[in-house]
Structure 1
Amino acid sequence: MSPVSTRLVRLLNMVPYLKANPQITYEEAAADLGVTRKQLQQDLDQLWMCGLPGYGPGDLIDFEFSDDTINVTFTAGVDAPLRLTSPEATGLLVALRALVDIPGVVDPAAARSAIAKIESAAGTIAHDQTHAAAAVEEQAPIESEAAAAVRTAVRGGRALSIEYYSASRDMLSTRIVDPIRVVLVGDHSYLEAWSREAESVRLFRFDRIVEAGVLDEPSAPPAPAVQAGPDTSLFDADPALPAATLLVAPTASWMLEYYPMRVREELPAGYCEAAMTYASDEWMSRLVLGFGPDVRVLGPESLVARVREAATAALAAYADLDG
């Protein structure tokens, strides 16, 4: 499970947990949830911005903090069983059907079963047993044997032999890899795995894995490779594309999950140094300027100069307006 998915599951469970344990201390809650006190505080700050449509006072999840204890004063319904509205069910169905069509992201049969159950619960199909059973048994999208083998290896923690087509070299190669996870980048699924041949992490696009065989040995990628999170070196491989080095403040850390970035160094006070590939100086400077003081460009120097010039011009324009 990705770090984003792990945190989402924890956030969804945190409100009912805190509701069931009123006046619990930070230390007790952090220990029960398996996180640090710092992470617990970040999760509470995130939950404080979540709630019901309207998102104003009285709509958002609320807490009371007293003598190092936490108490939920308004749950916004998060502690109650989920009841989907018709638009919500429709959106979920559309998303599930889209995921089914992307090889390797989900088990097609399991997704089709979930779709049938949501349809039945939402009343969009007949509620008699015959139609419900027929919907569950509806033919799942055809998945290639290679994609199914990759997903099986990832789920079972087994090593994998793959025959992979490299578009840049226009050739097939056979490799033994230790799967780490499946990641979705843009419209394509990738197997992130430790390549024994290259002795480093590689991303293998699903539709370029021609054949795959699950081996009778466990997947054993080095611990640092697993802990580092999804590797984006695939997007740094084109020498025509520069990479910006950014200093990211804690208040902008969400961008690490939103943009294809690679953390190079964790710094004090929650700051980090990260690398991000970009194709246009103009686009990258606009992106950075939009973050204000929360993101600073450290390199390359050409981008630093461009951002500095754009910021100076913007300040001069404001000065002219004041004059």
Structure 2
Amino acid sequence: MNTSADRLSRLLNLVPYLLARPGITLGEASGDLGVSERQLREDLELLWVCGLPGYGPGDLIDMVLDGDRVTITYDAGIDRPLRLTADEALALVVALRMLAETPGVADRDAIERALAKIESAAGDLAGAPVAVSLPGNADRVAGIRAAVERGRALELTYYTASRDATTRRVVDPLRVFVAAGRPYLEAWCRRAEAVRLFRVDRIDAFAALGEPAAPPPQAAPADLAGGVFRASTDLPLVTLRVGRAGRWITEYYPCERVTDHGDEWEVALRVTDLAWARRLVLGHGPHVRVVAPEELRAAVAGEAAAALQAYGSPDPAG
């Protein structure tokens, strides 16, 4: 699988490789680098928009493609030793410390070696009073991380917000990672027979089992470059009319379409479960209305009518 980390590593190696071989053919370069010629062309297209802050003429990496031969004409300073400011060095130290606490995302030994070199170069700055830990319940994250590192299967009691339900299931962990400030467990769920993401703060209880984790061959970590939520076309499409107080929905959730109708916006988005969408709409009162599907519109109208009727009923104790 061609991950973002693989591509970044390849791009960092590509510039010095090409600098040392001006005029090399794409076929020869792709053979040396172990990628297809098509992938190499895509990497070169990406390099054209990489460079120094400012990202204008004279800031970006430049090259000449003459037929099937490529020559780097401007490397944007990649051949010069890196000089970090105090803030940049501290930010890098903090990021590496966080990465070292997150299993399954990279080679921990390599991270710790890089961290040791940067801390040594940073001197007293590396000892700044900055504590780094994974967000969420620290004991829960540590326990799950330990089970992942030992390769043990887990039994989870998990709250699924989209269905407002708590279930028990056995999973084979793949990795623990942090996305958008939240820790997640990615694992093969034996109940669903598929790879699933579990927010750690929604794991009510867990227990490491005596058996080893045994995910099947098709259980591969998901590509999360586009975010944790993947709005596939097989999910229900919900269309809403939102007022000014509900426009935050367009910033918080990925939307397929947003149409401005003056005081209201029409928003189309994919949801994992219509019950979750029903609770979202009911929680915003008059600021959000359902356009489609009819099933959701009827469910919201029914619950709203029942609530109004309950408020209008006389108090039997009164």
Shared fold per TM-score greater than 0.5: yes
CA distance in 1, matches of 2:27, 2:5: 24
Which deviations, in whole Å up to 9, do the C-alpha atoms of 1:211-265 show, x marking residues without a partner?
A: 3537664643342x427635xxxxxxxxxxxxxxxxxxxxxxxxx626843566x
> Separation in 2 of the partners of 1:215 and 1:19?
54
Gaps of 5+ in 2: 243-249, 261-267, 272-290, 293-318
Is the 1:261–1:277 Cα contact (8 Å) retained in structure 2? no
Identity of aligned residues (%): 43
* Residue 274 of structure 2: aligned partner: none
**TM-score normalized with structure 2 length:** 0.58
Residue in 2 that maps onto 1:165: 158
Number of paired residues? 249
Structure 1 residues 189, 286: CA separation in 2 closer, same or farther (over 3 Å shift)? same
SS at match of 2:84: coil
Corresponding residue of 1:74 = 74
- Quote the Cα distance in structure 2 between the aligned partners of 1:109 and 1:172: 37
**1:80-229 equivalent positions in 2, closer than 5 A:** 80-93=80-93, 95-96=95-96, 118-125=118-125, 135=127, 144=138, 146-148=140-142, 150-151=144-145, 154=148, 158-166=151-159, 168=161, 171=166, 173-175=168-170, 177-209=171-203, 210-213=205-208, 217=212, 219-223=214-218, 225-226=219-220, 229=223
Change (3 A) 1:41 1:214: farther
Residues 117/197 of structure 1: CA separation in 2 closer, same or farther (3 Å cut): same
Give CA deviations for 1:46-86 in whole Å, capped at 9, x if unaligned. 11111123322222111121230222122122244433223
TM-fit CA distance, 1:18: 2.0
When residues 40 and 111 of structure 1 are mapped into structure 2, their CA distance, relative to the original with a 3 A threshold, is closer
Q: 1:162 to 1:78 in 2, by over 3 A?
A: farther
Q: Which amino acid aligns with 1:180?
A: L
Shift of 1:195: 0.9
CA contact (8 A) 1:159 1:220 kept: no
- Separation in 1 of the partners of 2:2 and 2:200? 18
- Verify the 8 A CA contact 2:169 2:190 in the aligned structure 1: no
Q: Which has the larger radius of gyration?
A: 2
TM superposition shift of 1:141: 5.0
How many Å apart are 1:20 and its aligned residue? 2.9
- Checking the alignment, whether the CA contact within 8 Å between 2:103 and 2:176 is kept in structure 1 is no
Quote the offset at 1:280 in angstroms: 5.6
- Whole-Å separation in 2 of the counterparts to 1:278 and 1:183: 30
The answer to whether structure 1 residue 261 and structure 2 residue 230 are counterparts is yes
In the superposition, the TM-score normalised over structure 1's length comes to 0.57
Which structure features the higher share of helix residues?
A: 1
Deviation at 1:23? Answer: 2.5
Aligned to 2:49: 49
2:304 maps to what in 1? none
Q: Which SS does the other structure have where 1:189 is aligned?
A: strand
Question: Which runs of 5 or more residues in structure 1 are unaligned?
Answer: 126-131, 231-255, 265-273, 290-296, 304-323
Determine if contact 2:15/2:75 at 8 Å carries over to the other structure: yes
Distance 1:97 1:10 in 2: 24
